[in-house]
């Protein structure tokens, strides 16, 4: 998934434009063309000597000391942890930190994760994005004492899973529920997951306000009716039992695609073992600005949509929710962790390691999940081909839109 360092690229740009000046007195000699009396007069300008500035080596962005000092503190910690290297230094602590972070993300599978998940990981000096006006009006008298790892999704990956569940059920009756539980459990550590449970809550809320004739023509009753029996029977299966079932069933699996799915799911589960979702609300008591922001925020956009088929009733509920998301305020990020800079070096290093361990586990887990989603989509596309159904999700992308046609 895309990742970047928040480094004031769009804020407080203060590069002075270099003037282009002519050498000489600035006068140009102009002479009409000689010829017949009826010839059209033409004017030819003499060349003007100018000085072209040499921009080689000039930094293309401006960072104040309030940007550089926190980055320098964290950069020293990352140098000790071998996340950054001496050769990363180019004169800017922000650039130094950025180079190390990009390399760390690539090493932990960001390239593979980016193929499916659309979002970004950023290191910021505020827990939320500031507008240019807010940043310019902020009274900053000293460098910040906290930096934040912020994870956001700008689109929800479409995962039409019905065909995959049918294939899993051919192998073992409990396999669909176990696989689904492990997949959702682990994705939920890194993002908000929208699936049939969210659609069911949305449908039941609206059905309370509808009369019977209205319900008859509505997709809402179909949300509960169309839950696959293989999931409905084992809706209370926990992650622990699902994990044990996958490990027990795996050696006897005969279908190669199913074997790959189970192997990837167990590997994904191992990467996420011991981690919990770093919701911004967990920092609200420690950082008052986070609570103030969350009070005015308009919810968190999901990182994926798990439906049965594209354009089904789960997708319809997703579309209705996403249509209004972000209309009443900024959307809260999916992940928020802090680097506390004003502490002894050993404690700062331990803090950095905890945050980066979480970040690395997330990227490795999502890289494995990307492989799972690829297989799920291939099975869905095969189902469409067999039934001669045109592929394509008919839901209009909102603030966290569904799978783009380019994916």
Pairing, β 119-124 against β 3-5: parallel
On whether residue 58 sits in a domain, the answer given is no
Pairing, β 193-194 against β 304-307: parallel
Pairing, β 119-124 against β 146-153: antiparallel
**Domain range spanning residue 128?**
1-17+65-407
| pLDDT confidence of residue 261 | 98
Residue listed under structure tokens 């802090």: 338
- Reported as a single tens digit per residue, the pLDDT across 22-71 is 334 443 333 334 444 444 444 555 555 666 556 555 454 545 555 788 99
On whether residue 126 sits in a domain, the answer given is yes
Mean pLDDT of 4-20: 33
Pairwise CA distance, residues 80 & 99, whole Å:
15
Query: Would the pLDDT of 143 be above 90?
Result: no
Pairwise CA distance, residues 186 & 273, whole Å:
9
Question: Nearest CA to 337 among 396, 400, 269, 279?
Answer: 279
Query: Would the pLDDT of 279 be above 90?
Result: yes
Q: Using alpha carbons only, what angle is made at residue 335 by residues 331 and 340, rounded to the nearest 5 degrees?
A: 115
Mean pLDDT of 127-135: 67
Tokens read off for 258 = 């199913």
- List strands edge to edge, sheet with 304-307: 157-160, 304-307, 193-194
Mean pLDDT of 199-204: 90
Query: Would the pLDDT of 406 be above 70?
Result: no
Contact 365, 374 (CB under 8 A): no
Question: Nearest CA to 12 among 97, 146, 125, 147?
Answer: 125
Question: Nearest CA to 365 among 272, 242, 245, 277?
Answer: 272
| pLDDT confidence of residue 206 | 81
| 25 vs 284, residue with greater confidence | 284
On whether residue 57 sits in a domain, the answer given is no
pLDDT band of residue 10 (cuts 50, 70, 90) is very low
SS3 content of the chain, % helix, strand, coil (to 5): 45, 10, 45
Provide DSSP, 139-177: ---S--SEEEEEEEESBPEEEE-HHHHHHHHHH-TTHHH
Q: Using alpha carbons only, what angle is made at residue 188 by residues 184 and 193, rounded to the nearest 5 degrees?
A: 75
- Ranked by mean pLDDT, the top range of 18-22, 70-74, 393-397 is 70-74
Cross-strand bridge partners of residue 155 = 401
On whether residue 48 sits in a domain, the answer given is no
On whether residue 280 sits in a domain, the answer given is yes
- Which segment of 14-18, 218-222, 275-279 scores lowest on mean pLDDT? 14-18
| pLDDT confidence of residue 231 | 94
| pLDDT confidence of residue 199 | 93
pLDDT band of residue 140 (cuts 50, 70, 90) is low
**Mean pLDDT of all residues in the chain?**
80
3-state secondary structure of 98: helix
3-state secondary structure of 320: helix
The structural domain count of the chain equals 1
| pLDDT confidence of residue 23 | 36
Report the Cα 141 to chain-centroid distance in Å.
32
Query: Would the pLDDT of 21 be above 70?
Result: no
| pLDDT confidence of residue 398 | 39
- Reported as a single tens digit per residue, the pLDDT across 87-103 is 999 989 999 999 999 99
Mean pLDDT of 307-336: 88
Give one word for 343, left, alpha or beta, with left for phi > 0 and alpha for psi -120 to 50.
Answer: beta
Looking at residue 401, the DSSP 8-state letter turns out to be B
Contact 224, 200 (CB under 8 A): yes
Q: Distance of CA 53 to CAs 13, 20, 358, Å?
A: 19, 8, 46
Question: Nearest CA to 93 among 5, 14, 3, 16?
Answer: 5
- Which segment of 52-56, 203-207, 326-330 scores lowest on mean pLDDT? 52-56
| pLDDT confidence of residue 389 | 66
- Reported as a single tens digit per residue, the pLDDT across 369-382 is 999 999 999 999 99
3-state secondary structure of 2: coil
Query: Would the pLDDT of 76 be above 90?
Result: yes
On whether residue 204 sits in a domain, the answer given is yes
On whether residue 33 sits in a domain, the answer given is no
Residue listed under structure tokens 């130094």: 96
| 226 vs 290, residue with greater confidence | 226
Query: Would the pLDDT of 1 be above 60?
Result: no
pTM, whole model, 2 decimals? 0.78
* Percent of the chain with pLDDT strictly greater than 70: 73
On whether residue 42 sits in a domain, the answer given is no
pLDDT band of residue 403 (cuts 50, 70, 90) is very low
Pairwise CA distance, residues 169 & 272, whole Å:
25
Pairwise CA distance, residues 183 & 252, whole Å:
21
Pairwise CA distance, residues 126 & 147, whole Å:
7
């Amino acid at each position: 998934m895309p990742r970047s360092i928040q480094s004031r690229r769009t804020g407080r740009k203060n590069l002075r434009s270099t003037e282009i000046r002519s050498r000489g007195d600035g006068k140009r000699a102009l002479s009409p063309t000689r010829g017949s009396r009826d010839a059209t007069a033409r004017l030819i300008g003499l060349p003007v000597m100018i000085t072209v500035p040499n921009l080689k080596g000039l930094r293309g962005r401006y960072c104040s000391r309030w940007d550089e000092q926190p980055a320098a503190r964290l950069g020293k910690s990352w140098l000790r942890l071998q996340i950054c290297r001496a050769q990363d230094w180019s004169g800017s602590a922000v650039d130094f930190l950025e180079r190390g972070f990009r390399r760390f993300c690539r090493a932990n599978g960001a390239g593979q994760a980016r193929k499916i998940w659309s979002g970004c990981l950023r290191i910021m000096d505020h827990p939320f994005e500031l507008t240019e006006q807010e940043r310019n009006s902020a009274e900053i008298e000293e460098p910040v004492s906290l930096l934040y790892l912020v994870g956001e999704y700008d689109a929800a990956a479409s995962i039409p899973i019905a065909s995959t569940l049918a294939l899993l059920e051919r192998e073992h009756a409990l396999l669909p529920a176990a696989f689904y539980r492990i997949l959702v459990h682990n994705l939920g550590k890194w993002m908000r997951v929208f699936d049939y449970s969210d659609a069911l809550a949305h449908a039941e809320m609206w059905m309370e306000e509808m009369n019977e004739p209205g319900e008859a023509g509505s997709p809402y009753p179909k949300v509960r009716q169309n839950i696959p029996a293989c999931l409905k029977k084992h809706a209370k299966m926990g992650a622990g039992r699902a994990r044990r079932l996958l490990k027990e069933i795996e050696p006897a699996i005969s279908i190669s695609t199913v074997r790959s799915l189970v192997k990837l799911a167990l590997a994904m589960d191992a990467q996420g073992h011991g981690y919990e979702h770093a919701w911004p609300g967990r920092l609200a008591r420690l950082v008052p600005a986070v609570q103030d922001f969350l009070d005015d925020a308009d919810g968190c956009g999901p990182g994926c949509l798990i439906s049965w088929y594209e354009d089904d009733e789960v997708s319809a509920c997703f579309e209705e929710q996403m249509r209004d998301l972000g209309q009443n305020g900024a959307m809260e990020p999916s992940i928020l962790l802090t680097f506390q800079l004003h502490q002894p070096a050993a404690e700062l290093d331990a803090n950095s390691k905890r945050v980066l361990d979480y970040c690395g586990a997330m990227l490795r887990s999502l890289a494995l999940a990307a492989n799972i989603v690829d297989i799920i989509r291939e099975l869905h596309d095969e189902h469409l081909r067999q039934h001669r159904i045109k592929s394509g999700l008919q839901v209009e992308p909102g603030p966290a839109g569904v799978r783009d046609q380019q994916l």
